[in-house]
Structure 1
Amino acid sequence: MNHKQRVKSGLGGASPKAVWDAFHPPRLTQARHLAGMTKKEVAQGIGVSPAAVGQYETGTSKPRPDLIVGLANVLDVPIEFFIAGRPMGEIDTSTAYFRSLRSTTAAQRHRALGVAGQVWELSHWLERRVQLPLVNLPGFTGGEVHPGSELSSDPVAAAQELRARWGIGGGPVRHLVRQLETRGIVVFVPSAADDQTVTIDAFAASGFPRPVMVLTPNRADDVYRHRFSAAHELGHLVLHASSTGDHRQEREADAFAAEFLTPRSSIFPLLPRRMDLARLADLSRAWGVSVKSLVYRCRELGLASDATTSRAYQRLHKLSGEPGFAAQSTDGFPGEQPVMLRQAFELAKRDQGLSIEQLSRELAWNPRRVRELLGVSDPRPILRLV
């Protein structure tokens, strides 16, 4: 069966006419954003004008049934994807916190928000079968963030309060991503093959009934950068009711992350009074933060001058590939890799017989996409021709 024939038959057997009757315009926008395509590119793929595609997305008019098949082919979704009635993960940029807002294009942000929306949709459908951890995030209630209602608006104080609320104490935060998941935050790390999403720095979205955090490798697969990004996005979730994309919010999230990972009352007595990179490397491994961040912490806490800090950064640059100073992949740290969605699926599979194919039909996604977001490999053997 070729691709076009598969789309025509549909995952659930719906006819193009039935899809036309229940066509949901926002689903077309979502599919286009996920595909990283412009209206012009979609229009060229189905033989209409860009204005017509715009009308389909606003609901001013609907594509003919045969064009719905064409849209499904061009956007690589089943025709059922366009049917109304399913809960949709749809938010705007005001409830998503992009670290490098000015360096990302609108298309990249829309693509990233589409991914976050699908991650939430997947969690929603799994939650119909499996009770996921309840959201335990002060100030967050059912998709709304209320800054200051439970935690201080000061980032340092908020980090201290959250550590106390979560019972972490004053020591290193072990397995940060697992800590987030056990508090009901959905964490997703896209595959390196998803070259459109991984070009964006980590971001969080607070506009869903359950907060979503997307952690991307971006420029380096480094577990310490990964952990700081997660703590940074956590800061956004508890501090900011909406995203403005300004430097103030980014500085506040950075300050939160530094205090959350290395509380000053605990780290200050341990930091060397004279710059000692070997000592900082030991602390780096113990606390799960980079040596560079500890150098910055020394300066921030008054233990190093600007000149000393600058020289330390230069020495670190020369040591960047050496043992003890080289980046470490997150692959070697299971507690820093999300597992909640995959384990929820495995539980539903074991106890209720849920399959990838059944979940795909309910979501109206291709099975391949479900596997990608769950991090489940295709069980079929690979034929290699030599």
Structure 2
Amino acid sequence: MSTPDPTRSFTSVGAVPAGPSPQAVADAFDPARLTQARQLAALTKKDLAERIGVTPAAVGQYETGMTRPRPDLIPRLADTLGVPTAFFLTGRPHGKLDGSTAHFRSLRSTRAHQRAKAVAFVEQVWELTYALEKQVRLPHVELPGFSGGEVHSGVEVPREPALAARALRHLWGLGSGPVSHIVRHMEAHGIIVVFPPPDEDATTVDAFSTSQLPRPIVVLTANRFDDIHRYRFTAAHELGHLVLHGDAASGDSQQEREADVFAAEFLTPRDSILPELPTRLDLRRLVALKHTWGVSVDSLLYRCREVGLISDSAAGRAYQRLKTLRDQPGFAPEPISDYPGEQPVLLRQAFDLAIAETGLTMAKLATQLAWHASRVRELLGESDQRPTLRVV
């Protein structure tokens, strides 16, 4: 008679293994996974301690590795944090990220627990990317200055933001005209772009990026400002951080200004847009240019002031007038959902290819990651296909 495997538990005699036993998880407990799961759940150590019936000091000791949770606490931890018990096992690749190296679009309004949750989310995005890269070959990273992984462009660009934007346009073969589908261009050059699952924190954290993992990652929040033109500028802003500030700690207001300059030049090169801008304030002309170049009227108005076509006082009056036109055609926000080319697809397409070519399934991928399948679907951008039961 064979010896039972202590790392497996069974729901009944002859049942399919349900996962590692609580004792096995306690014996091979990874403290960093507890921290990651707690941050993803946006819980403090005190919050978690109250829910599982221990002291905050005990949770702190679990996370530092000083002590390990008792086996009877493992199921409670998993239920409270919404992860499988196997999530806490050591041995899986973990893309640990220092939060100080992530560039947040709205750093001042982003609270510490929101940043921690965002960083943990990016770690999971990398883990999903890594798992998919074992199945399919993703586009090479073609990003000046990036050296976080096995491949990099080897191309250096000027540190001055506008010059760097022009250099990247040249490297990517974008010419001097409007950039269609900026997100698709980013993905085609090896940058991972994702939407976070919708929740209350996603409405506060605007966007963020990092180049400190083996692939550069940009997180764009679609539902905070559901406007395609602001969204495209934000994507270009984060691209600027990746190019200009990949080796610098975040939080510098000068970096934010430089990323804005990069974004403006990347989307509307000065030499190309200048001949098209009106020499006097003309909102109808700016609306037409908005649709041609894919940038907001506000951004074009700023460009007019920046190049000296209108005075600061005239620009101020124009901005005030724009506030009264926000709900009018041509000035109202345009939903991001109306522009499929600006929505991330790289990870989802990699998964679909892996299904077709290697036999990967959602269940296999979830098991490799030690996540619930619903979490994998969230990060792949796949909506829940189950029918909704409505009780009437």
Q: Which runs of 5+ in 2 are unaligned?
A: 1-9
**Consecutive unaligned residues in structure 1, runs of 5 or more:** none
- C-alpha change, 1:161 and 1:84, in structure 2 (3 Å) is same
CA contact (8 A) 2:195 2:381 kept: no
2:231 corresponds in structure 1 to 226
Q: TM-score, normalised by structure 1?
A: 0.94
Residue 195 (structure 1) shift: 2.0
What does residue 364 of structure 2 align with?
358
Structure 1 residue ranges (4+ consecutive) displaced by more than 4 angstroms after TM superposition: 9-12, 143-146
Deviations 1:250-306 (A, max 9, x none): 000000000000000000000000010000000000000000000000001111100
Q: Say whether the 8 Å CA contact 1:281–1:324 is kept in structure 2.
A: yes
Q: Which has the higher contact order (CA 8 A, sep 6+)?
A: 1
Query: Do residues 245 (structure 1) and 227 (structure 2) align?
Result: no
Contact kept in structure 2, 1:142 and 1:208, CA below 8 Å: yes
Question: 1:218 offset after TM fit, Å?
Answer: 5.3
Deviations 1:349-373 (A, max 9, x none): 1222222111111100111111111
Does the aligned pair in 2 maintain the 1:342–1:375 contact within 8 Å? yes
Match among 41, 55, 64 for residue 47 of structure 2: 41
CA contact (8 A) 1:143 1:206 kept: no
Q: For residues 264 and 171 of structure 2, what CA distance do their matches in structure 1 show?
A: 17
CA contact (8 A) 1:99 1:245 kept: no
Alignment of 1:188-337 (within 5 A): 188-191=194-197, 193-217=198-222, 219-240=224-245, 241-337=247-343
Q: Following the alignment from structure 1 to structure 2, what is the Cα–Cα distance between the partners of residues 325 and 63?
A: 56
Q: Which residue of 1 aligns with 2:4?
A: none
Distance 1:217 1:82, change over 3 A: same
Contact 2:136 2:353 in 1 (8 A): yes
Contact 2:148 2:211 survives alignment (8 Å): no
Q: CA deviation at 1:381?
A: 2.7
Partner Cα separation in structure 2 for residue 227 and residue 11 of structure 1: 47
Q: CA RMSD in A?
A: 2.1
Match of 2:89 in 1: 83
Cα distance change, pair 67–329 in 1 and its aligned pair in 2 (3 A): same
Deviation at 1:194, TM superposition (A): 2.1
Aligned residues: 379
In 2, are the aligned partners of 1:133 and 1:182 still within 8 Å (CA)?
A: yes
Distance 2:38 2:148 in 1: 28
Q: Distance in 2 between matches of 1:188 and 1:15?
A: 34
- State the Cα distance separating 1:197 from its structure 2 match: 2.7
The amino acid across from 2:315 in the alignment is T
Give the counterpart letter for 2:221 in structure 1: T
**CA distance in 1 between partners of 2:321 and 2:263 (Å):** 25
Secondary structure in 2 aligned to 1:217? coil
How far did 1:244 drift? 3.2
Alpha-carbon distance between aligned partners in 1 of 2:211 and 2:143, rounded to the nearest angstrom: 11
Q: Work out the CA distance in 1 between the residues paired with 2:276 and 2:201.
A: 41
1-structure distance, mates of 2:239, 2:128: 21
Question: How far is the alpha carbon of 1:379 from its aligned partner?
Answer: 3.3
Secondary structure in 1 matching 2:218: strand
**Matches of 1:145 and 1:332, distance apart in 2:** 34
Please name the residue that 2:391 is paired with. 385
